Amino acid sequence: MANKNCRVLFAMIMINNSHHTKRLSRLKAGEKPCLKFVSQFWECYNGGTMKVSELGEFGLIERLARMVDQAQKGPAISGRQIIIGIGDDAAAWQGDAANQLAAVDGFIQDVHFTLNGISWRELGWKALAPNLSDIAAMGGTAQYALIALALPNDTEVDDVTELYQGIIELANEYQVAIAGGDMSTAPLVAINITVIGRAPGQGKILTRRAAQPGDRIAVTGYLGTAAAGLEMLTKKLQFDPEAEATFRKAFLHPQPRIAEGQLLVKHGVKTAIDISDGLISDLNHILRASQAGARLEVDRIPIHPAVKANFGNKAIELALSGGEDYELLFTGSAEIINRVTAQAACPVTVIGEIEPGQVGKIGLVGKDGRPYQPGKAGWQHFVTE
């Protein structure tokens, strides 16, 4: 039964509706009467929560559009030249003469994530991060995002707004304007995001296909930390608070290497990829595209001290095949990589070399110089283990 405050709010809705009825002919285009009051009433009536089925598709879109509008008013975002944003059949913005980049990623419940042990805000950040990382791997600048959500009818509206808070936080950090999207119902949560970006100058786009024999192989940051976070969450492992925070942040709050990708372009790197599926798997993509092989020195792979301390011998497996670190894996001459290393804001580590020979073959060498055999190669869709 609605409480006294709800009854008062309901009365306000009725009064407000009466007022709007008299002025419907004077409403501005797109103005919707009373939605704020109706939303507040339902939240009050249902004990402080409201389902998306109660607010409805258009009410939810309006709420999210307000969030985006309020959060992206700064000059860095508003300067993106959006002509038509959320609420129309398509988004429109003023383009420029540069080549464009486009990246799309799907995030499906019980395939890419579960709702256990993760906040909706963390989910929002993590859902956008892979797209920005793809733009980083091409050496570009992310500019616009289109977000398609599919939600079960019983999803709470507060959870969806929290999801958008996470998306907006990451978008604002990299000056990405949220320009539009789509909304639908589904049995499980599905988040599909498309990011449009600006490519570097003509002929400077980083690709997978330009690695040459003799090139050094290098990576940014640490590898295996995100996989450690996944292990911790799925297996409910406990570590000291500092280690837990490190693992959780790496897995749920990854930092796309946009600036580092642009630095690679500046110093003449031609080939790069972001590490999403795992070091071995993603290096293999480069080798097949470049028609080459490679040798990796396992003991040189950068692993965070907390991963080494808490996972022991398994740490190297996490680094080789864990994935979702969203670090950049790239190749270049020793001179080029030295210049990148000197200017990069994060660690850069040379871990091997591109070699001629069998295409896609990766020779792993251990500390003792003997071949090292990994447990698995990395993540791949449509393959059962």
Query: What DSSP line would sit under 188-204, residue for residue?
Result: S-EEEEEEEEE--STT-
- 279 and 161, same domain (yes or no): no
Listed in sequence order, the residues at least 6 apart from 244 whose beta carbon sits closer than 8 Å to its beta carbon are 232, 238
Helices (H) and strands (E) in the chain — how many of each? Answer: 14, 12
- Angstrom CA distances, 375 to 73, 318, 339, stand at 49, 10, 34
Residue 376 is predicted with a pLDDT of 58
Here the CATH number for the domain that contains residue 127 is: 3.30.1330.10
Q: Is the pLDDT of residue 329 over 60?
A: yes
Distance (Å, whole) CA 180 – CA 171: 13
Q: Is the pLDDT of residue 192 over 90?
A: yes
In a domain? residue 40: no
Nearest of 215, 162, 180 to residue 49 by alpha carbon: 162
In a domain? residue 317: yes
What b-and-e string marks burial along 59-69, b requiring 16 or more CB atoms within 10 Å of the CB? bbbbbbbebbe
- 178 and 308, same domain (yes or no): no
Distance (Å, whole) CA 238 – CA 93: 48
In a domain? residue 74: no
- 257 and 313, same domain (yes or no): yes
Region 360-370 average pLDDT: 90
- 357 and 235, same domain (yes or no): yes
pLDDT band at 201 (very low <50, low <70, confident <90, very high): confident
Nearest of 197, 68, 94 to residue 136 by alpha carbon: 197
Please identify, among 198, 225, 255, the residue that sits at the C-terminal boundary of a domain: 198
In a domain? residue 286: yes
- Angstrom CA distances, 212 to 50, 208, 220, 286, stand at 57, 11, 20, 10
- 320 and 228, same domain (yes or no): yes
Ranking 3-7, 23-27, 138-142, 341-345 by mean pLDDT, the lowest is 23-27
- 141 and 273, same domain (yes or no): no
Please identify, among 143, 163, 198, the residue that sits at the C-terminal boundary of a domain: 198
Residue 14 is predicted with a pLDDT of 43
Residue 23 is predicted with a pLDDT of 39
Count up the domains in the chain and report the number: 2
In a domain? residue 314: yes
- 164 and 292, same domain (yes or no): no
pLDDT band at 218 (very low <50, low <70, confident <90, very high): very high
Q: Is the pLDDT of residue 342 over 90?
A: yes
Here the CATH number for the domain that contains residue 325 is: 3.90.650.10
pLDDT cut 70: percent of the chain above it: 84
In a domain? residue 240: yes
Residue 30 is predicted with a pLDDT of 45
Residue 146 is predicted with a pLDDT of 98
pLDDT band at 178 (very low <50, low <70, confident <90, very high): very high
- 183 and 292, same domain (yes or no): no
Residue 4 is predicted with a pLDDT of 44
- 244 and 328, same domain (yes or no): yes
Residue 153 is predicted with a pLDDT of 97
Region 262-268 average pLDDT: 98
Note down the domain range covering 355: 216-365
* Residue 249 contacts residue 194 (beta carbons within 8 Å): no
- 162 and 228, same domain (yes or no): no
- 221 and 357, same domain (yes or no): yes
Ranking 38-47, 123-132, 271-280, 308-317 by mean pLDDT, the lowest is 38-47
Region 141-145 average pLDDT: 96
Q: Is the pLDDT of residue 328 over 90?
A: yes
In a domain? residue 310: yes
Q: Give the distance, in angstroms, between the CA of residue 11 and the centroid of all CA atoms in the same chain.
A: 44
pLDDT band at 323 (very low <50, low <70, confident <90, very high): very high
In a domain? residue 152: yes
Distance (Å, whole) CA 58 – CA 81: 25
